[in-house]
Chain A
Amino acid sequence: MARGSDGDRQYFEEIQVGDEYQSPGRTVTEADIVAFAGLSGDYNVLHTDAEFMRSSIFGERIAHGLLGLAISSGLGSRAMPRPFATMAFLGLRWRFKGPIKIGDTIKVRLRVADKRDTSKPDRGIVTIQRTVLNQRGETVQEGDTEIMVERRPARTAARAHA
């Protein structure tokens, strides 16, 4: 495995519905938007044409919605002292509620909303409510993420119960 010891990560069994985390903040810069345009290939004027956007309802360029999502995903991993033993992202329902502008500082609040078993005994599915807030405390994005999380490997479980 990539990580040194089992204790570094939270397995499915340890995660409790209602657990909450709050991330540090991160200021979204012009460089982030330019880099994300390059990575995604989304050069829509909303994100790349300062002159056009000056006369738009936003008054300036705004971050890609999916850049906010990507940054919130990174902030989410920094919100947790011990990351979840995530195997994969399964699904996402997401709402963009307001723009993220250059210079805005966003943070993410996470809450474990649901846990359920799967047909495979080595994993479970966890639903996390994510709220992305700006420096004024306004919700700019929110939604539910479904992730697949490993259960504690049998060998470790046996040791824990010895």
Chain B
Amino acid sequence: MRYFEDLEVGEQFRTPARTVTEADVLAYAAISGDHEVLDRAAGGDPDGVPAPEFLAFAVSSGLGFRVPVDQPPILAFMTFDWRAVAPVRIGDTIHCRIRIAQKRPMKDAGVLVEKREVVNQRGEVVQEAEYKLLVARRPAS
């Protein structure tokens, strides 16, 4: 198991990619109860149907767990700062670039600051976020 102590500032990961489908948009509308996203998706945008921004955000959060490295035990998601830079459209395939930007040890755990970029199939950054996560320290043996 990798603990807070084992993570290094500057480490970078690239997640696998995932195609955002119409089924994802419907599932997101059902779970969130936000049916306005369906109205917005029905707007007839000639460039394609935009997916809800928070759907792409949720998908990118899950992609982080699919990086083939030993995942540190996350105790809590503390805060995030997120920006949508460009639309994600149905049929787009997104992956995430993750960089450990900062580490702050605390008494019983550590705060990990990750910079994340969501990137589409053309290499364009569509969303940017900074996550603050509470990660377990190595238990005293």
Contact = CB atoms under 8 A, between A and B. Distances in A.
Chains A and B form a bound pair? yes
**Most chain A beta-carbon contacts within 10 A, residue among B30, B31, B34, B81:** B31
B70 interface: no
Contacts, number: 109
Interface string B74-87: 11111111111001
Given A43-B65, A90-B84, A77 B59 contact: no
A89 B83 CA distance: 8
Given A69-B54, A70-B28, A95 B36 contact: no
B46 interface: no
A32 B79 contact: no
A89 to B, nearest CB: 4
Interface string A57-73: 10000001111011101
Contacts of B27: 35, 38-39
A40 interface: yes
A75 B24 contact: no
A38 to B, nearest CB: 8
Given A40-B62, A69-B54, A78 B84 contact: no
Nearest to B24: A39
A75 B50 CA distance: 21
A88 B53 contact: yes
B81 A92 contact: yes
A96 B59 contact: no
A118 interface: no
A46 B134 CA distance: 12
A46 B74 contact: yes
Interface residues of B, number: 39
Contacts of B42: 2
Contact of B58 (A32, A39, A91): A39
A67 B54 CA distance: 10
B34 A95 contact: no
Nearest to B50: A88
B108 to A, nearest CB: 10
B101 interface: no
B83 A70 contact: no
A41 B66 contact: yes
Nearest to A43: B65
Interface of B: 18, 24, 27-28, 30-36, 39-40, 42-43, 50, 53-55, 57-59, 61-63, 65-66, 74-84, 87
Given A87-B40, A92-B80, 6 more contacts: A36-B58, A39-B59, A66-B54, A70-B34, A71-B31, A92-B82
19 contacts: A1-B43, A32-B31, A38-B27, A39-B27, A40-B59, A40-B62, A41-B59, A41-B65, A42-B61, A42-B65, A57-B75, A66-B61, A70-B31, A71-B31, A75-B33, A86-B36, A86-B40, A93-B81, A96-B79
